[in-house]
C-alpha cells in the first residue's frame, strides 16, 4: 500500500508540474493574443489602451458606437469596450481593470438599456477572463455566474479543458504567431447586416410583451459606479440608444426602466441621453434586429451622439 | 454520481482510504463500507429508488435462502418464479409500462376501437436493467444447483449494489462476484496500478472519443433530413464510436475501480470493431449481457441444438429480447432483429465459430481477406446502430435511404468543420492504440512497446493531456438510460 500511495503521489506531482507548465504557457500566450476574444482585455491589462473617451456597454455599445466617428467629430481618442451579451456586472469589472492599468479617461459613455441591469445566470464569453482569473476581482465576478466551475479555479490548466483552439492560440502566441487577428476598429464591430426575422419570432412567442426585471444588487452597484466616477472627476454620459420602436411596445415597464436611469442621472447630476424615441428608432432600415443597429444605423447614431456631446461642451469642462 | 464528475473524484479516494485503512481488518466492515458507499453513490442520483434495490435484495436473499432449504421441485419452481416476477415486474413497470399501453391503444385504434388508458409519467430508475439481471442470476443459479445460497446478508447486499458496476455493468454473475465478498481482500500493488491504468483508458474513451463523437453524431441525427449522404454516413460512424467509447469506457472505469478494491470483474468488451463476422462481434460486444442471455435464455430454449426451425427461432428470440432490453422502443427491437438476420447465415452454415481468436493474433497486420471481412462486419454494424440511435423506425429508415443516394461522394457538411477534423484525428489515434493493444485485456494493459517505467509514465501523462485538451462537452453515459 505504501508503494502504491508513493507512486500515486509522485505521479500526481509530475502531472501537476506538467499542468502548471502548460497553464503558464497557454495563459501567457493568451495574454499576448491579438484574437477577437482577447485583444481588448489584453490592451486593458497591458495599460496600452489609454483612451480619452471610453464607451462602455454590452453589444449595444459594441456594434452601435463607432470610435472613428467620435474621434473625428470630437477630436479625441476613444475606444469601445462593448462586451457582447454581458450586462453591467462584467462591464463594471472590465472598467475596474481599465482604471487600474490605464490613465484616467476624460469621459465615459455608458450605454444602458433594458437588459443592462438584469442578472443572467451565465456569463457569456467567460473564457475571455480565463488567463486573468488570478487578477484581483476577476474570480470574484466570474464566481457569480455559471461558467467556470470549482475545479477550474483550483486545478491548473483545467479551465482550458476542451478548448483546443484557445490552447493552440495561447501556445502559438508565445512565438508571435497569431492564428486570428481582431479586425474590430478600436473595439467597434460594425454589422453590415440586413434585417433578420428574430423580432417577428419574439413577438409571436410574447404577444403580451415582457416585463424587465432589474436586479437590485446591480442597481445599487450601478449607482455606486456613477457616484465613484463623479468623485473621480470623470465625466459620464448615460446613453439609452435607439431600439426599434415596435419592440419598445412589448416592454411593459419601459417607463419604469427609463425613469430609473433618469433618477440616477439626476441624483448624480450627470447627463442622460435618451434616444429611444429618436427618429432612428422608427426606421427599420437602420436595424438588423429590434435591439441592434446595422452599420448604417450605427454610423448615423454615432454622428448624432457625437454632435450632442459636442454641443454640451462637456469635454472642456473641468 | 457520474464517474467523470468532481463529486466522484472526491468520493472515490475517501472510500478507498477508509476501505484500506479504517476497516481493512474486518471483512464484515469492509463489506458494510461497500454497501454504504454504493447506496450513497446511487442515492446521489435519486435516493427514492434505493428502496427498489433494497427490496430486490431482500426478496432475492430470502428466495435464495428458502431455495437452499427445500428440495421439492414444485416449491423450488414457485420460489424461482417469485424472484423472476418481482424483479422483472419492477423492470417491466418502470421501463415498459408506457410502451405497452401506447402500443395497446394504437393496436385498438387500428382496428377501429377507441380505448382510453392513460400513460404514466414514470422515471426510469438508473441501472435497473443491470442490477435486475445480476440478482436474477443469483436465484437462477441456486435453483440450478450451481451456487450455494448465502447466509451473509451484508455480502449479498454488497454484491447487488457494488457501486463500480451498479448502474451500467458489467452484469456480474453471482457465481463469480459473490464469493469475492466472502474473503478478505488483500491489497495488491500490481492489481491497483492496473486498475488505475484501466480507469485512465476508460476516461479517455468516454471523455475524448465518445463525447467528441457525440457532438457530431447528435448534430447529424437531429438534422438528418437536410443532410447529404456522406454526412449521414459519417454521422452514423461517429455514433458507432460514440456508443463504443461511452459504454466500453464505462466498463473499463468500473473494472479498474473494482481492482482498486481488490475485486475482479468480467471483461465486457474485447475490441468488437475488429471482428471479422457478426458472430465474433457478439462475442466481443457487451460480453456480460450476451453471455447472460446465452446462459439464462438461449441455452434453456435449446440453443443451437435441435431442429433447424428451433435454431432459427432461438436466434431470433435472443436477439429481439436483447434489443428490447435496451429500451422500450421499436427501434431497439428492429436493431435486434437486424442483428439476428446478420447472424443467421453464419449459424445455418455452421460458420458462427470460425473466428474465436483475436484478429492477427500472431501477426502485426491482418491479411487482405481479414481486412475485407472486418470492414464488411463494421459496415453492417454501423447500419444497425442507426436503428439504435434514431428517434423512430421511420427516422431510421429515412436516414438509411439518405445514405444510399448519389450525394455519398459529396463533401460532408458539419456546422463546425474543425470539430469534424479533430474527431477524425482522435479516432485515428484511438484505432491505432486499440489495434496494437488488441491482444491485452484492454488496449493499454500490456504496452509492450514501453520498455521502461519512464516511457509508460510519459504515455500516461500524454493521455491525461489529451483528456484535458480534447475533452468533449460532457454527456451522460448512454447506457444509464437502459
Is A6 near chain B, with CB under 8 Å?
A: no
Put simply, the chain A residues between 192 and 251 with a CB less than 8 A from any chain B CB are none
**Can you tell me the distance from the alpha carbon of B202 to that of B208, in angstroms, rounded to the nearest whole number?**
10
What pLDDT band is residue B327 in, cutting at 50, 70 and 90? confident
Q: Which residues pair with A289 in a beta bridge?
A: A292
Nearest to A164 among B6, B464, B469 (CB): B469
A167, B469: Cβ pair inside 8 Å?
yes
Residue, of B97 and B389, whose pLDDT is higher: B389
Q: Which residues of B touch A149 (CB under 8 A)?
A: 6
| Terminal-residue alpha carbon distance, chain A | 73
A236 DSSP assignment: E
B361-418 pLDDT per residue, tens = 888 899 999 999 999 999 999 999 999 999 999 999 999 999 998 888 899 999 999 9
The 10s digit of each residue's pLDDT in A68-77 is: 999 999 999 9
Contact B313, B387 (CB under 8 A): no
* Cβ atoms B220, B231 nearer than 8 A: yes
Chain B 380-439, residues with CB within 8 Å of chain A CB atoms: 418, 422
Contacts of B262 in chain A (CB under 8 A): none
CB B331 within 8 A of CB B392: yes
Residue B105: pLDDT over 90: no
Cell numbers linked to B172: 456480474
From chain A, pick out residues whose CB is under 8 angstroms from the CB of B187.
1, 4
Q: Which residue of A has its CA nearest to B196?
A: A8
Ordered by start, the domain boundaries in chain B are 6-186, 190-276+355-481
Report the residue of B7, B13, B465, B474 to disrupt the A interface, i.e. the one with the largest count of A CBs within 10 Å.
Answer: B465
Q: Which of A95, A97, A33 is nearest to A58 (CA)?
A: A95
Which residue is closest to B188 within chain A, CA to CA? A1
At B123 the pLDDT is 75
Question: Which chain B residues are closer than 8 Å to A3 by Cβ?
Answer: 189
Whether the pLDDT of residue B121 is over 80: the answer is no
Q: What's the CATH number where A248 sits?
A: 3.40.50.1110
Q: Domain range holding A271?
A: 2-316
- The Cα of B415 is separated from the nearest Cα of chain A by a number of Å equal to 16
What pLDDT was estimated at residue B479? 60
> pLDDT tens digits for B34-45?
999 999 999 998
Global ipTM: 0.85
Residue with cell 418464479: B81
User: For testing the chain A interface, which of B199, B471, B473, B474 should be mutated: the one with the most A CBs within 10 Å?
Assistant: B471
Q: Which of residues 23-42 of A touch B (CB under 8 A)?
A: none
**Into how many domains does chain A fold?**
1
CB-CB under 8 Å, A150 with B469: no
Residue A185 pairs in a beta bridge with A188
> pLDDT at residue B119 above 80?
no
> What is the CB neighbour count within 10 angstroms for residue B175?
14
For the stretch A101-120, what's the b/e string if a residue is b when 16 or more beta carbons lie within 10 angstroms of its beta carbon?
bbeebbbbbbbbbbbbbebe
**For an interface test with A, which of B8, B192, B195 has the most A Cβ atoms less than 10 Å from its Cβ?**
B192
**Which residues in chain B touch residue A164, judged by CB atoms under 8 angstroms apart?**
422, 469-470
Q: CB distance B192–A4 less than 8 Å?
A: yes
pLDDT of residue B477: 64
With a pLDDT cut of 90, the percent of chain B lying above it is 75
Q: What is the mean pLDDT of residues B4-16?
A: 92
Residue at grid coordinates 512497446:
B449
Q: Is the per-residue pLDDT at B202 higher than 70?
A: yes
Q: What is the 3-state secondary structure (H, E, C) of chain B?
A: CCCCCHHHHHHHHHHHHHHHHHCCCCHHHHHHHHHHHHHHHHHHHHHHHHHHHHHHHHHHHHHHHHHHHCCCHHHHHHHHHHHHHHHHHHHHHHHHHHHHHHHHHHHHHHCCCCCCCCCCCCCCCCCHHHHHHHHHHHHHHHHCCCCCCCCCHHHHHHHHHCHHHCCCCCCCCHHHHHHHHCCCCCCCHHHHHHHHHHHHHHHHHHHHHHHHHHHHHHHHHHCHHHCCHHHHHHHHHHHHHHHHHHHHHHHHHHHHHHHHCCCCCCCCCCCHHHCCCHHHHHHHCCHHHHHHHHHHHHCCCCCCCCCHHHHHHHHHHHHHHHHHHHCCCHHHHHHHHHHHHHHHHHHHCCCCCCCCCCCCCCCCCCCHHHHHHHHHHHHHHHHHHHHHHCCCHHHHHHHHHHHCCHHHHCCCCCCCHHHHHHHHHHHHHHHHHHHHCCCCCCCCCCCCCCCCHHHHHHHHHHHHHHHHHCCCCCCCCHHHHC
B225 is catalytic: no
Q: B142 and B148 in contact (C-beta within 8 Å)?
A: yes
Report the residue from A4, A162, A165 with minimal CB separation from B471. A162
Check whether B247 has a pLDDT greater than 90. yes
Is the predicted pLDDT of residue A50 greater than 90, yes or no? no
Amino acid at each position: 500500500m505504501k508503494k502504491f500511495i508513493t507512486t500515486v503521489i509522485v505521479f500526481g506531482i509530475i502531472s501537476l508540474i506538467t499542468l502548471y507548465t502548460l497553464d503558464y504557457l497557454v495563459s501567457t500566450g493568451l495574454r499576448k493574443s491579438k484574437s477577437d476574444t482577447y485583444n481588448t482585455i489584453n490592451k486593458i491589462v497591458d495599460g496600452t489602451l489609454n483612451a480619452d473617451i471610453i464607451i462602455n456597454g454590452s453589444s449595444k455599445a459594441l456594434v452601435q458606437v463607432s470610435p472613428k466617428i467620435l474621434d473625428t467629430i470630437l477630436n479625441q481618442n476613444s475606444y469601445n469596450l462593448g462586451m457582447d451579451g454581458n450586462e453591467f456586472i462584467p462591464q463594471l469589472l472590465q472598467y475596474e481593470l481599465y482604471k487600474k492599468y490605464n490613465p484616467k479617461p476624460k469621459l465615459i459613455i455608458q450605454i444602458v438599456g433594458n437588459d443592462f441591469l438584469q442578472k443572467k445566470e451565465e456569463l457569456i464569453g467567460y473564457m475571455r477572463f480565463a488567463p486573468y482569473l488570478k487578477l484581483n476581482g476577476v474570480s470574484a465576478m466570474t464566481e457569480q455566474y455559471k461558467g467556470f466551475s470549482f475545479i477550474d479555479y483550483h486545478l491548473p490548466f483545467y479551465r482550458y479543458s476542451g478548448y483546443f483552439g484557445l490552447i493552440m492560440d495561447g501556445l502559438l502566441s508565445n512565438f508571435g504567431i497569431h492564428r486570428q487577428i481582431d479586425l474590430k476598429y478600436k473595439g467597434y464591430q460594425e454589422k453590415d447586416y440586413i434585417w433578420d426575422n428574430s423580432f417577428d419570432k419574439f413577438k409571436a412567442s410574447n404577444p403580451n410583451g415582457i416585463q424587465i426585471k432589474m436586479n437590485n444588487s446591480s442597481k445599487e452597484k450601478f449607482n455606486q459606479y456613477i457616484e465613484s466616477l463623479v468623485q473621480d472627476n470623470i465625466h459620464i454620459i448615460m446613453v439609452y440608444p435607439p431600439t426599434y420602436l415596435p419592440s419598445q411596445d412589448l416592454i411593459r415597464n419601459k417607463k419604469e426602466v427609463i425613469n430609473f436611469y433618469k433618477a440616477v442621472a439626476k441624483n448624480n447630476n450627470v447627463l442622460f441621453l435618451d434616444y429611444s424615441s429618436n427618429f432612428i428608432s422608427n426606421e427599420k432600415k437602420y436595424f438588423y434586429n429590434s435591439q441592434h443597429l446595422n452599420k448604417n444605423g450605427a454610423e448615423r447614431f454615432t454622428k448624432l451622439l457625437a454632435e450632442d456631446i459636442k454641443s454640451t461642451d462637456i469635454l472642456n469642462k473641468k | 454520481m457520474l464517474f467523470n464528475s468532481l463529486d466522484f473524484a472526491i468520493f472515490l479516494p475517501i472510500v478507498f482510504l477508509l476501505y484500506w485503512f479504517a476497516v481493512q481488518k474486518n471483512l464484515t466492515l469492509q463489506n458494510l463500507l461497500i454497501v454504504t458507499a454504493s447506496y450513497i453513490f446511487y442515492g446521489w442520483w435519486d435516493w427514492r429508488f434505493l428502496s427498489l434495490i433494497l427490496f430486490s435484495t431482500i426478496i432475492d436473499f430470502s428466495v435464495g435462502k428458502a431455495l437452499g432449504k427445500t428440495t421439492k421441485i414444485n416449491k423450488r419452481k414457485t420460489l424461482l418464479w417469485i424472484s423472476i416476477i418481482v424483479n422483472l415486474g419492477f423492470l417491466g413497470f418502470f421501463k415498459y409500462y408506457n410502451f405497452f399501453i401506447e402500443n395497446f391503444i394504437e393496436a385498438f385504434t387500428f382496428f377501429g376501437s377507441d380505448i382510453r388508458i392513460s400513460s404514466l409519467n414514470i422515471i426510469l430508475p438508473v441501472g435497473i436493467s443491470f442490477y435486475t439481471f445480476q440478482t436474477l442470476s443469483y436465484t437462477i443459479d441456486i435453483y440450478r444447483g450451481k451456487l450455494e445460497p448465502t447466509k451473509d446478508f451484508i455480502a449479498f447486499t454488497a454484491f447487488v449494489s457494488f457501486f463500480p458496476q451498479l448502474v451500467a455493468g458489467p452484469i456480474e454473475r453471482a457465481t463469480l462476484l459473490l464469493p469475492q465478498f466472502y474473503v478478505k481482500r488483500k491489497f495488491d500493488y500490481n492489481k491497483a496500478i492496473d486498475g488505475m491504468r484501466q480507469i485512465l483508458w476508460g476516461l479517455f474513451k468516454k471523455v475524448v472519443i465518445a463525447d467528441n463523437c457525440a457532438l457530431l453524431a447528435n448534430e447529424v441525427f437531429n438534422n438528418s433530413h437536410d443532410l447529404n449522404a456522406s454526412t449521414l454516413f459519417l454521422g452514423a460512424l461517429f455514433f458507432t464510436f460514440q456508443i463504443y467509447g461511452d459504454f466500453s469506457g464505462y466498463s473499463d472505469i468500473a473494472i479498474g475501480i473494482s481492482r482498486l478494491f481488490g475485486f475482479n470483474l468480467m471483461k465486457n468488451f474485447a475490441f468488437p470493431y475488429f471482428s471479422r463476422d457478426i458472430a465474433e462481434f457478439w462475442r466481443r460486444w457487451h460480453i456480460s449481457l450476451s453471455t447472460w442471455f446465452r446462459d439464462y435464455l438461449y441455452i434453456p430454449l435449446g440453443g443451437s441444438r435441435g431442429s433447424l426451425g428451433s435454431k432459427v427461432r432461438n436466434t431470433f428470440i435472443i436477439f429481439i429480447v436483447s434489443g428490447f432490453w435496451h429500451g422500450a422502443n421499436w427501434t431497439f427491437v428492429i436493431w435486434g432483429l437486424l442483428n439476428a438476420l446478420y447472424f443467421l447465415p453464419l449459424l445455418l452454415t455452421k460458420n458462427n465459430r470460425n473466428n474465436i481468436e483475436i484478429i492477427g493474433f500472431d501477426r502485426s497486420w491482418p491479411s487482405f481477406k481479414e481486412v475485407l471481412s472486418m470492414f464488411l462486419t463494421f459496415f453492417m454494424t454501423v447500419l444497425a446502430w442507426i436503428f439504435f440511435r434514431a428517434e423512430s423506425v421511420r427516422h431510421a429508415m429515412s436516414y438509411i435511404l439518405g445514405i444510399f443516394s448519389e450525394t455519398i461522394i459529396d463533401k460532408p457538411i458539419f456546422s463546425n468543420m474543425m470539430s469534424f477534423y479533430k474527431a477524425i484525428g482522435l479516432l485515428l489515434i484511438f484505432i491505432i492504440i486499440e489495434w496494437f493493444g488488441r491482444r491485452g485485456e484492454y488496449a493499454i494493459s500490456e504496452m509492450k512497446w514501453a520498455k521502461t517505467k519512464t516511457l509508460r509514465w510519459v504515455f500516461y501523462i500524454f493521455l491525461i493531456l489529451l483528456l484535458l485538451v480534447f475533452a468533449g462537452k460532457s454527456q451522460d453515459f448512454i447506457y444509464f438510460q437502459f
